[in-house]
């Protein structure tokens, strides 16, 4: 027997043993999904992964339990998993920009009410137009929710005020299920070696303290009612990279803090079924970035060239991910940072 053949025999024997084991597994139903011991069996999952959805079974579980004698099945992915039917949300920075865009997305996903908190005493014309649009959508019955977009004047840097706002929402609605902490500010180019203390503190106060106080306001009510919930902290790709040729030390530092805040809160609140994730947009054309782009048109081409897609993003391109994070479609996602940057990080 040649050396080459002898050297291959142990590997061949191992392969035969593995095939035998695999065949045994298939016979017991694991590979096909049939059989009571299958990991795909709903009862098996219940003992290993905890409580199943109240509207379950879903997905493969639903297919395995279905018989020809059952009524015709209907898709659940949008009816249940992505649905925010009867849910209540709080969105800071919701008077315009990304906050308002995300608030409307939650309404369209079926939320009963979305409370937009912002500093202005009166909501903007933009917000009022969106409120009317949301009411019209709800009147069609197609969203599955009341479509109530509410406005509350509030300062995210005032912890007591934000906590009180959260309690008022909880008292009125009897629940609070989702939170989007979107309020934030960006200052002009400022040399890091001469950065004024007052300006640095202002950025950190809004972008870090304000995010924490907003998350606390919602999280306290989620804990109060025991329904769990989802807290979404709006960070930025600037929290994990530095924007080329922009002196934004305060902004970048604040967004890095939000990333760590999200991970830390997720670890604390997981046992209470409160998920906390961060969402990091890239260059998006908003009211905040327009202050740069509209006065320095050359920046548009520059920013667009910094990602593989060759353009900057739109606020509506965050609707899907914020709905996913707020809904039951992401129930095993916490402590994560979701980057929506057109691939900026990939280069």
Classify 292 as helix, strand or coil: helix
C-alpha–C-alpha distance, residues 98 and 318, integer Å: 8
Pair of tokens at residue 94: 């919701």
- Using alpha carbons, select from 272, 274, 176 the residue that is nearest to residue 217: 176
Verify cis geometry, omega within 30 degrees of 0, for the bond prior to 57.
Answer: yes
Q: How big is the CA angle at 45 (ends 41 and 46), to the nearest 5 degrees?
A: 120
Phi-psi region of 279 (alpha: psi -120 to 50; beta: other; left: phi over 0): beta
Task: Pick the catalytic residue from 142, 255, 285, 302.
Answer: 255
255 as an active site residue: the answer is yes
CA 17 to each of CA 6, 10, 11, 12, 336: distance values in angstroms, whole numbers, following the listed order: 18, 11, 10, 9, 40
Task: Pick the catalytic residue from 66, 115, 251, 285.
Answer: 251
The catalytic site residues sit at 251, 255
């Amino acid at each position: 027997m040649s050396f080459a053949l002898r050297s291959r025999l142990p590997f061949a024997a191992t392969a035969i043993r593995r095939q035998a084991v695999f065949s045994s597994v298939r016979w017991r139903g694991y590979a096909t999904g049939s059989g009571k011991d299958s990991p795909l069996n709903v009862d098996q999952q219940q003992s290993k992964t905890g409580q199943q959805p109240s509207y379950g079974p879903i997905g493969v579980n639903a297919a395995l339990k279905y018989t020809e004698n059952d009524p015709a099945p209907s898709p659940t992915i949008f009816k249940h998993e992505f649905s925010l039917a009867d849910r209540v949300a709080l969105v800071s920075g919701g008077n315009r920009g990304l906050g308002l865009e995300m608030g409307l997305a939650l309404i369209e996903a079926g939320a009963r009410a979305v409370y937009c908190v912002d500093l202005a005493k009166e909501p903007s014309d933009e917000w009022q137009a969106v409120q009317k649009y949301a009411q019209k959508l709800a009147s069609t019955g197609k969203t599955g929710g009341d479509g109530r977009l509410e406005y509350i004047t509030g300062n995210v840097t005032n912890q007591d005020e934000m906590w009180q706002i959260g309690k008022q929402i909880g008292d009125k609605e009897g629940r609070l299920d989702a939170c989007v902490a979107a309020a934030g500010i960006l200052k002009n180019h400022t040399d890091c070696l001469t950065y004024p203390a007052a300006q640095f503190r202002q950025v950190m106060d809004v972008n870090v303290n304000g995010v924490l106080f907003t998350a606390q306001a919602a999280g306290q009510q989620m804990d109060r009612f025991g329904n769990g919930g989802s807290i979404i902290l709006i960070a930025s790709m600037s929290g994990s990279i530095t924007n080329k040729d922009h002196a934004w030390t305060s902004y970048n530092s604040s967004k890095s803090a939000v990333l760590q805040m999200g991970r830390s809160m997720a670890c604390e609140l997981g046992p209470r079924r409160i998920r906390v994730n961060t969402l990091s947009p890239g260059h998006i054309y908003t009211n905040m970035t327009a202050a740069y782009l509209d006065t320095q048109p050359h920046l548009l081409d520059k920013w667009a060239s910094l990602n593989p897609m060759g353009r900057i993003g739109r606020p509506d391109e965050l609707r899907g991910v914020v709905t996913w994070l707020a809904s039951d479609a992401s129930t095993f996602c916490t402590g994560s940072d979701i980057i929506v940057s057109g691939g900026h990080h990939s280069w």
